[in-house]
Amino acid sequence: MAGRVLVVGSYNQDLVWEVDALPAPGETRAGLAFRSGPGGKGFNQAVAAARAGAATTFIGALGDDTLAEGARALARAEGIDARFETIAGIATGTAGILVDAQGCNSIVVALGANARLTVAHVDAQAEAFSNAAVVLAPLESPLEAVRAAMRLGRAAGARTILNPAPMHADLDAAALADVDLLTPNETEMAELLARFGAGHVEAKTLRDRTDAELAALCARLPVRTVVITLGDAGAVLAPGARPGDDAPVTIARVPAAVVRAIDTTGAGDAFNGALAAAWAACPDADPATLLPFAIRFAGLSTERPGAAAAMPTRAELETRFAS
């Protein structure tokens, strides 16, 4: 399997405006700066995995337009083996992003061709799945295509990671059947708990709960392992409700890295891509031991503007956090 990461997901062209504060509903604010660059949760995660040191394959969909040409060139520049499906008559995905002076963001996504990625195209890449150590997917692609990716990854003996972002209305236990590791943030975790019968939990309270309390909540979800990402409060890993054949899952809490954040856009994608790369390098490792690497990688990504372009390299990470 040679440590390869395979990502199935979205490519968006990001349009980013810097503002002093995020506008309230109905308010118009003057932008301080504008930039455009590559994004999309799937492509961000693929770039993160590649820069974190993993051989990386990306499966996604593009329109038949000039943005698609740029996407293919960017994948080549990153050394990513891109397997794009071209959707005629549909635009390549785009995202409008507002970033305030504290690095917080507000995002609107027009998925375009991403929403048309077909199961047939995913299935046609069976050879790529057979060479993957880890298969990773967010939810900016059709759920059936994501389920196909998890199924093919599991059948090939790869580790499977689902990043449930953005949350999908039809995500259920059947859609999680082939998922080894689920990586929700606080908001997504609260939605998952409500969906799987754990009742109402305020997302903002999760970071203040004890490890035991969080582990009890993770145990309500029908997957092998759950990692809750908590922003500047780090991340917590705990076993889910589905047993596995490996050693028991270790409960772990890892603090956030100490960084000078200017833009949190793509930080969650940085975490997922780096985690996938670390797991691909050590497929038999306890995922808890991989969290510090992913946390630091994600933290360092916030020190630069942008999404895919902000991902650090493994060498930069090792230099910054050398002990």
Just list the catalytic residues. 269
* Residue owning tokens 């349009």: 15
Please report, to the nearest 10 degrees, the dihedral formed by the alpha carbons of residues 155, 225, 167, 95 taken in order.
-80
The residues that bridge with 14 in the sheet, in sequence order, are 37, 95
Please report, to the nearest 10 degrees, the dihedral formed by the alpha carbons of residues 38, 41, 47, 50 taken in order.
-170
* Residue owning tokens 């995660």: 45
CA distance 94 to 217: 35
C-alpha closest to that of 51 among 279, 322, 301, 323: 301
CA end-to-end span of the chain: 31
CA distance 256 to 289: 15
Q: Is the dihedral of CA 256, 259, 264, 270 positive or negative?
A: negative
